[in-house]
Chain A
């Protein structure tokens, strides 16, 4: 029996679904195991569930979204949140520190037509079984989560920071050696340290690792000359509203 899958999108850019489609020529293999019963971006054949797995991209920012995610939860055995928007609110959550009214006025001439709220992670409203961090999460992590679901085991996801992966590549430390504002020490691994590998500081796009030492990170960033405002911007990006970052992101 193939697993019945639904793929859903809320407040996001669709990049996580595009990352999943990066399975490319291995798609037929995936289709042997999974029946995508509701994936509006890829298929006109849409069935209303119940599903074995709901794969959900995006944060929640409308009253309708709350109802919809609750329906999806009721209809699904396993719910996988893919990407920072679903897991933390993501880049769109930067606006959460503005008044909603100000954000609306800046973009729309007639904001009275809008039905929009501050954006939140989906686990604000429903239980999430698997969290895949990243903007986007790496395809390998998505496949790991799907394989684990087939085998009915817990997926092996990394709990350590990007620094561990960076060491595997024998990169010199951008933070301590080059005094650059690298977010690696507090950021969840999974990307393969792609940014340090190509000469760029980690921007934190996988969100916080489990139990990061944020206080020490802030001190280090101050030491290398970042202002409080610079530090606020670093944390108020992909996961500013997460439990670990929200204090610092408020600075």
Chain B
């Protein structure tokens, strides 16, 4: 019998661990432990004003603050009947792309790359590569900073649009650097090949937003490879949370079906045809075919998303012109949901507000909540294929698989039940 305990996962955001018991090559017990402190966002949002919610929700996550602002703003705009103009939509897409580039670059270069280079961290990789990689991440930060007024927890995103129209010349000044950054992204596809990534297939349901007009980020229908095709308003009708006997964590699954995956691999699998040509060619270079059932291939998906989205950022900057970026509205009560693609997958927010614009109830399901059960199911299927390896190697491979989901544990915890492990 082997007991594999990872007290705390490293190179992931937030606090989590893994307890695993293997007997006769089979998984006897497996728990993805989340011991992050709960923060009760849905509770203390009650009683706050509708125009504070983006600012507060942003603090759910220090990496995916952009999606935690745009999602509640869109839900509240639906309640108030606000229609934003095309310029506002363009800026929201641009800032979301900035957020995804920054988050993906952080994950790919600082968190995941050490695994394929067999290093404990990225601090000791070739400084030239490190500088190029961090410049790429910095450009994502810059886009968010210019459009959002600040890189971490931006301040310009409000119900009805933006508080200011970012100066076009500041955005134009990023274009040359973005072109360089795209080269960096293209070069880094070489790190993720069938030799560096474990081979493992899991035929899980992959859920992502999908939109016939564009590679879906801020709006679309919720679709999957297993026939799911619903609007964001129907999310709670089709996705249920339940408590499983072996764990106190609330897990998501499609009603009447199993756990599912959200995130870059789901997006690329479903919407590959909407990525640009360079991204599709890079995918071919990697040797992996999409749709892919190998969760480790999420890192390839991140790289090719970066390639396509950098080009799109350049296009959006070109299309953008300064002008009206805020529409007026009257406050009224109601309730509504919105879903956007966070870097880690679909992010669901639902609010109910009264006629004075005060929040009566909130329901939030960030991507890592939705992935938690899928991560466990993947591990359960994966561990028997590596059961003969040493405990250290099993722990390393399991960490890699969990890391491939880029879990954002702070995000997930406001609605995961928490079990603090005693050692």
- Whether the pair A24, B10 counts as a contact (CB closer than 8 A) is no
- Whether the pair A62, B59 counts as a contact (CB closer than 8 A) is no
- Whether the pair B46, A18 counts as a contact (CB closer than 8 A) is no
- Whether the pair B37, A42 counts as a contact (CB closer than 8 A) is no
Q: Which residues of A contact B376 (CB under 8 A)?
A: none
Is B254 located at the chain interface by the 8 A CB criterion? no
Is A14 located at the chain interface by the 8 A CB criterion? yes
Is A165 located at the chain interface by the 8 A CB criterion? no
- Whether the pair A136, B153 counts as a contact (CB closer than 8 A) is yes
Q: Which residues of B contact A9 (CB under 8 A)?
A: 14-15
Instruction: Considering the complex, give the chain B residue whose CB is closest to the CB of A135.
Output: B153
Task: List residues 115-152 of chain B with CB under 8 A from any CB of chain A.
Answer: 120-123, 127, 130-131, 134-135, 137-138, 141, 149-152
Q: A13-B60, A18-B63, A22-B141 are in contact. Are A92 and B40 (CB under 8 A)?
A: yes
Is B114 located at the chain interface by the 8 A CB criterion? yes
- Whether the pair B43, A19 counts as a contact (CB closer than 8 A) is no
Q: A115-B420, A136-B152 are in contact. Are A40 and B131 (CB under 8 A)?
A: no
The total of chain A residues at the interface (CB under 8 A) is 64
Is B38 located at the chain interface by the 8 A CB criterion? yes
CB distance from B336 to the nearest CB of A (A): 20
- Whether the pair B59, A91 counts as a contact (CB closer than 8 A) is yes
The total of chain B residues at the interface (CB under 8 A) is 65
Is B179 located at the chain interface by the 8 A CB criterion? no
Instruction: Considering the complex, give the chain B residue whose CB is closest to the CB of A63.
Output: B420
CA of A136 to CA of B141 in the docked complex: distance in angstroms? Answer: 14
- Whether the pair A102, B164 counts as a contact (CB closer than 8 A) is no
CA of A24 to CA of B105 in the docked complex: distance in angstroms? Answer: 11
B38, B55, B120, B131: the one contacting A108 at CB < 8 Å is B38
Is B110 located at the chain interface by the 8 A CB criterion? yes
Task: List residues 17-48 of chain A with CB under 8 A from any CB of chain B.
Answer: 17-19, 21-22, 24-25, 27-28, 31, 36, 40-46
B contact face: mostly helix, strand, loop, or mixed: loop
B38, B52, B123, B150: the one contacting A43 at CB < 8 Å is B123
Is A198 located at the chain interface by the 8 A CB criterion? yes
B9, B121, B419 pick with most chain A CB within 10 angstroms? B121
- Whether the pair B123, A103 counts as a contact (CB closer than 8 A) is no
Q: Which residues of B contact A104 (CB under 8 A)?
A: 38, 40, 43
Q: Which residues of A contact B153 (CB under 8 A)?
A: 15, 135-136, 205
- Whether the pair A31, B123 counts as a contact (CB closer than 8 A) is yes
- Whether the pair A95, B62 counts as a contact (CB closer than 8 A) is no
Q: Which residues of A contact B40 (CB under 8 A)?
A: 92, 95, 103-104, 106-107
B38, B46, B60: the one contacting A114 at CB < 8 Å is B38
Q: Which residues of B contact A58 (CB under 8 A)?
A: 37
- A104-B43, A114-B418 provided; 15 other pairs, C-beta below 8 A? A11-B37, A13-B60, A14-B14, A18-B63, A45-B120, A103-B40, A108-B38, A108-B417, A113-B419, A116-B418, A191-B150, A198-B149, A200-B149, A230-B49, A237-B52
- 10 A-B pairs closest in CB distance: A15-B62, A43-B121, A45-B120, A24-B138, A13-B62, A106-B43, A14-B62, A103-B43, A198-B149, A94-B44
A-B pairs with beta carbons under 8 Å apart, 12 shown: A13-B60, A25-B138, A36-B123, A43-B10, A43-B123, A44-B120, A45-B120, A95-B40, A106-B42, A198-B149, A200-B149, A233-B49
